[in-house]
């Protein structure tokens, strides 16, 4: 159990800890010279039953409240100290307000210097304490008169602390490891050592850890728990970690940093939270108010954005966005304290809700509803509410990472709630099965309506469909949703277009007749140099516009590709030419080839060969650098012969740039990126050099 002291300066906090434990928590020479506590002090009290009670002794001076806050996080029990001769003082009230904002509800009150007060004075101060505690987290706490001089009440206080220690339930340690650093120093023979309270999870010697927010990697080489050497530490314990690693020094790690499981490293400087303003505050909290933000042992300058139009009144609780001057390592559900910029008063405090707060549209009704859904202490309840919220899906990895939950928490949630998952673009989301069904039904209904309105079009653009559906998925995740719809047989992916399986572009009987006559002219021996639109029109003695329309309708059906303006190739021929390009690239040094090599294999003219390669460039199938090209390994399956393709694959993958507009030239540019020595595989990089 970790016990934290609180109270006004010179009320006997350090003396009480010394009498109880035999340890002087004032460790600094200046503290001993001045007789007051300036920084955090620590003492450990071994008990007969083998338990060790750890004490965090905090300073009581009004100018040192930031040091008091550094020690207040992670304690199990509050020992509020009030001197019998002074009674309740300003820092007593401020410390009590801070404890209330931090949600610390277990505690005792030590009425110190009892030897200086008669019975009447004791009753008077106890009544004052009882009235002050009313309505706070320590309401009803026992008051025990003690004296560090005479020893009065010390045994009674010790017995009460032992009883509370036995009654303190062991915290669940199944979360991922976080330790809030309050000291960093160098120890001869050990190296860099950091101390702090474990906020979640457990740690063992040999574990890899990361320092947040800097991102330094380290290894735990030694470990002390509650001032004793140990193999493992866990949540709720005071630990000293001996760390080793590149860049790990006492200067590189300081108070406010967090030692954490590497998978949790995701610092943030913008968070949405619920803030409660103290009734003692002197003015309402308005927009962009500058403050000091205290979280665990960190102290950072920040601004507050109230997520509504009106300021937050005294004593009121409201949603806010906190914009930090520098990032911190935190977790959703963590408590925080807000103080004014001069560090003279505490304004309020609250709970972090979302660590990935948006900068835009942060005050919309939809965002407010989402935050209200996430504003639950229990992660399972927050997840359930978020799944039913306005967004309709949850980024599971981020959700459980930001709560420092166990590594398998996402998997257990998927199984427990029978969730549908989609992965894409380094992100994984989950939604309820009924949400997915609504999404699927909306997608098919939208495509059906689109086909009814535009029966001569090949299908609907993927981005247009994405923007018309709810939930509106990010592009990479929408691509994963499309693949699931394709697998379910609900839609067909036809390059850049989506269509229903039963939809096909239909020609009039006259147009079908033109296509039947023209198709043989584009295949067989002429397939690599087919006639252009004007040539076919001249051959048939019909208007070029008729041939052009027929060819473009055939292209919408996936039977043709328009390689250049009015120059169409059969889709199977394009697939065959793609196979030839891959074969050349496979045989070429470093996978590179030029237009001449491609032209020779096709036995075609240079101009047409270049047009074909430029078409491949636009589709992202090839990547060009000067006169050289290589095959994009991520798009080798883009062109598939129709006879070999499943219905959903006809036309290959979606084009990254869409179909070109040959009249304007838009879309004819090569896909950006090209290739160079940095984009080639390691072995080919050496060959390039």
DSSP states along 428-478: EEEEEHHHHHHHHHHHHHHHHHHHHH-TTS--EEHHHHHHHSSS---HHHH
Mean pLDDT of 562-588: 94
Same domain, 548 and 622: yes
Same domain, 296 and 255: no
Alpha-carbon dihedral angle through residues 593, 629, 668, 566, given to the nearest 10 degrees: 20
| CATH (domain of 229) | 2.40.30.10
244 part of a folded domain:
yes
Which regions of 226-367 does DSSP assign to beta strands (E)?
A: 228-229, 232-234, 238-244, 258-260, 268-277, 289-295, 298-306, 317-328, 335-339, 346-354
Residue 31 pLDDT > 60: no
d(CA 188, CA 357): 44
Read off the tokens for 529: 């140099």
Confidence of residue 30 (pLDDT cuts 50, 70, 90): low
Residue 649 pLDDT > 60: no
Q: What is the pLDDT of residue 73?
A: 75
Q: What is the pLDDT of residue 663?
A: 42
d(CA 355, CA 554): 51
| CATH (domain of 617) | 1.10.10.10
Q: What is the pLDDT of residue 668?
A: 42
Of 264, 295, 320, the position where a domain reaches its end is: 264
Residue 310 pLDDT > 90: yes
Q: Could you give phi then psi for residue 438, rounded to 5 degrees?
A: -65, -40
Q: How many CB atoms lie within 10 A of CB 146?
A: 27
505 part of a folded domain:
no
Residue 658 pLDDT > 70: no
464 part of a folded domain:
no
Confidence of residue 673 (pLDDT cuts 50, 70, 90): very low
Q: What is the pLDDT of residue 295?
A: 93
Task: Indicate the range of 340-344, 502-506, 568-572 predicted with least confidence.
Answer: 502-506
d(CA 81, CA 677): 68
377 part of a folded domain:
no
- For residue 372, the Cα-to-chain-centroid distance in whole angstroms is 18
Same domain, 557 and 585: yes
Tell me the per-residue pLDDT of 180-208, one tens digit each, with 9 for 90 and over.
Answer: 998 899 988 889 999 999 999 999 999 99
Same domain, 131 and 233: no
Same domain, 255 and 293: no
Nearest to 462 by CA among 493, 420, 425: 493
| Residue 288, burial from CB neighbour count under 10 angstroms (0-12, 13-18, 19+) | exposed
The sign of the dihedral angle between the CA atoms of 458, 464, 466, 468 is: negative
Paired sense of beta strands 427-432 and 419-424, if any:
antiparallel
Coil, helix or strand for 638? coil
Nearest to 299 by CA among 256, 341, 260: 256
Same domain, 529 and 586: yes
Coil, helix or strand for 354? strand
Tell me the per-residue pLDDT of 201-251, one tens digit each, with 9 for 90 and over.
Answer: 999 999 999 999 999 999 999 999 988 899 999 998 889 999 999 999 999
Q: What is the pLDDT of residue 55?
A: 87
CA distances to 236, 240, 266, 350 from 337, rounded to whole Å, are: 20, 25, 21, 7
Nearest to 441 by CA among 477, 488, 504: 488
292 part of a folded domain:
yes
Task: Indicate the range of 81-90, 163-172, 265-274, 585-594 predicted with least confidence.
Answer: 163-172
83 part of a folded domain:
yes
CA distances to 39, 41, 45, 59, 298 from 70, rounded to whole Å, are: 9, 11, 21, 11, 7
Cis peptide before 471 (omega within 30 of 0): yes
Mean pLDDT of 561-585: 94
Q: What is the pLDDT of residue 61?
A: 57
| Angle, helix 154-167 to helix 13-21, in steps of 10 degrees | 80
Task: Indicate the range of 154-168, 277-291, 410-424, 650-664 predicted with least confidence.
Answer: 650-664
- For residue 40, the Cα-to-chain-centroid distance in whole angstroms is 32
Same domain, 32 and 129: yes
Confidence of residue 447 (pLDDT cuts 50, 70, 90): very high
Q: Could you give phi then psi for residue 380, rounded to 5 degrees?
A: -65, -40
Q: What is the pLDDT of residue 1?
A: 83
Same domain, 153 and 38: yes
Mean pLDDT of 567-596: 94
Of 264, 280, 297, the position where a domain reaches its end is: 264
Under 8 Å between Cβ of 199 and 180: yes
Under 8 Å between Cβ of 348 and 285: yes
Confidence of residue 292 (pLDDT cuts 50, 70, 90): very high
512 part of a folded domain:
no
Q: What is the pLDDT of residue 63?
A: 54
Same domain, 210 and 310: no
Q: What is the pLDDT of residue 29?
A: 56
pTM for the structure as a whole: 0.74
Q: What is the pLDDT of residue 62?
A: 55
Of 633, 649, 665, the position where a domain reaches its end is: 649
User: Can you give the residue range of the structural domain that contains 332?
Assistant: 268-363
User: How high is the mean pLDDT of the chain?
Assistant: 86
Same domain, 49 and 142: yes
Coil, helix or strand for 268? strand
Read off the tokens for 50: 């083998």
Same domain, 53 and 184: no
Tell me the per-residue pLDDT of 529-569, one tens digit each, with 9 for 90 and over.
Answer: 999 999 999 999 999 999 999 999 888 888 899 999 999 99
Domains: count for the chain: 4
Nearest to 333 by CA among 358, 309, 352: 352
Tell me the per-residue pLDDT of 32-71, one tens digit each, with 9 for 90 and over.
Answer: 455 555 567 788 888 887 788 888 887 755 555 667 777 6
Tell me the per-residue pLDDT of 474-530, one tens digit each, with 9 for 90 and over.
Answer: 989 999 999 999 999 999 987 678 999 988 877 889 999 999 999 999 998 889 999
Q: What is the pLDDT of residue 686?
A: 34
Confidence of residue 664 (pLDDT cuts 50, 70, 90): very low
């Amino acid at each position: 159990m970790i016990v934290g002291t609180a109270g006004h300066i010179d009320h006997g906090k350090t003396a009480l800890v010394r009498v109880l434990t035999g340890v002087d928590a004032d460790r600094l020479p200046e503290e001993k010279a001045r007789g007051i506590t300036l920084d955090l002090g620590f003492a450990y009290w071994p008990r007969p039953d083998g338990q060790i009670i750890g004490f965090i002794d905090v300073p009581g001076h009004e100018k040192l409240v930031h040091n008091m806050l550094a020690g207040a996080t992670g304690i199990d029990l509050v020992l509020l100290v009030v001197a019998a001769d002074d009674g309740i003082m300003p820092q007593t009230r401020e410390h009590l307000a801070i404890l209330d904002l931090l949600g610390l509800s277990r505690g005792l009150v030590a009425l110190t210097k009892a030897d200086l007060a008669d019975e009447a004075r004791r009753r008077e101060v106890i009544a004052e304490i009882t009235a002050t505690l009313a309505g706070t987290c320590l309401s009803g706490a026992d008051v025990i008169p003690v004296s560090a001089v005479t020893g009065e009440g010390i045994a009674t206080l010790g017995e009460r602390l032992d009883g509370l220690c036995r009654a303190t339930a062991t915290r669940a340690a199944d979360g991922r490891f976080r330790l809030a650093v309050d000291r960093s120093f160098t120890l001869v023979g050990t190296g860099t050592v950091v101390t702090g309270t474990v906020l979640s999870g457990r740690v063992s010697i040999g574990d890899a850890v990361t320092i947040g927010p800097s991102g330094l990697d380290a290894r735990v080489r030694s470990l002390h728990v509650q001032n004793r050497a140990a193999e493992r530490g866990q949540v709720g314990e005071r630990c000293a970690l001996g760390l080793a690693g590149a860049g790990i020094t006492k200067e590189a790690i300081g108070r406010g940093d967090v030692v954490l499981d590497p998978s949790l490293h995701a610092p943030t400087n913008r968070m949405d939270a619920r803030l409660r303003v103290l009734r003692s505050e002197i003015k309402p909290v308005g927009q962009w108010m500058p403050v000091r933000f205290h979280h665990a042992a960190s102290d950072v300058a920040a601004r507050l954005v109230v997520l509504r139009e009106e300021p937050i009144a005294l004593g009121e609780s409201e949603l806010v966005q906190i914009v930090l001057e520098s990032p911190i390592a935190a977790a959703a559900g963590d408590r925080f304290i807000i103080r004014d910029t001069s560090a003279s008063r505490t304004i309020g405090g609250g709970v972090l809700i979302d660590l990935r707060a948006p900068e835009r549209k942060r005050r919309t009704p939809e965002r407010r509803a989402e935050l209200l859904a996430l504003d639950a202490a229990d992660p399972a309840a927050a997840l359930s509410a978020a799944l039913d919220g306005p967004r309709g899906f949850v980024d599971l990895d981020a959700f459980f990472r930001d709560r420092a939950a166990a590594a398998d928490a996402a998997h257990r949630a998927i199984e427990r709630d029978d969730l549908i998952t989609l992965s894409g673009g380094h992100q994984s989301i989950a939604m309820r099965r009924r949400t997915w069904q609504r999404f699927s039904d909306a997608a098919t209904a939208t495509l059906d309506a689109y086909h009814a309105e535009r029966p001569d079009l090949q299908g609907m653009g993927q981005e247009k469909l994405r923007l018309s559906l709810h939930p509106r998925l990010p592009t990479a995740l929408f691509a994963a949703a499309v693949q699931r719809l394709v697998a379910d047989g609900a839609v067909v992916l036809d390059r850049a277009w989506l269509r229903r399986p039963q939809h096909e572009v239909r020609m009039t009987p006259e147009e079908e007749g033109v296509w039947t006559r023209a198709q043989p002219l584009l295949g067989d021996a002429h397939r690599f140099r087919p006639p252009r639109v004007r040539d076919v029109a001249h051959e048939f003695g019909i208007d070029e516009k008729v041939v052009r329309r027929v060819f473009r309708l055939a292209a919408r059906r996936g039977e043709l590709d328009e390689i250049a303006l009015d120059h169409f190739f059969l889709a199977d021929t394009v697939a065959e030419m793609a196979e030839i390009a891959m074969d050349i690239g496979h045989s070429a040094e470093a996978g590179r080839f030029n237009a001449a090599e491609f032209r020779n294999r096709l036995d075609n003219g240079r101009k047409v060969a270049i047009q074909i390669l430029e078409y491949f460039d636009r589709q992202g199938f090839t990547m060009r650098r000067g006169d050289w090209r290589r095959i994009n390994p991520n798009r080798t399956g883009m062109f598939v012969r129709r006879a070999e393709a499943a219905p959903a694959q006809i036309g290959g993958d979606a084009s990254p740039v869409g179909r070109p507009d040959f009249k304007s030239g838009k879309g004819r540019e090569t896909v950006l990126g090209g290739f160079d020595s940095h984009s080639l595989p390691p072995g080919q990089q050496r060959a390039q050099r």
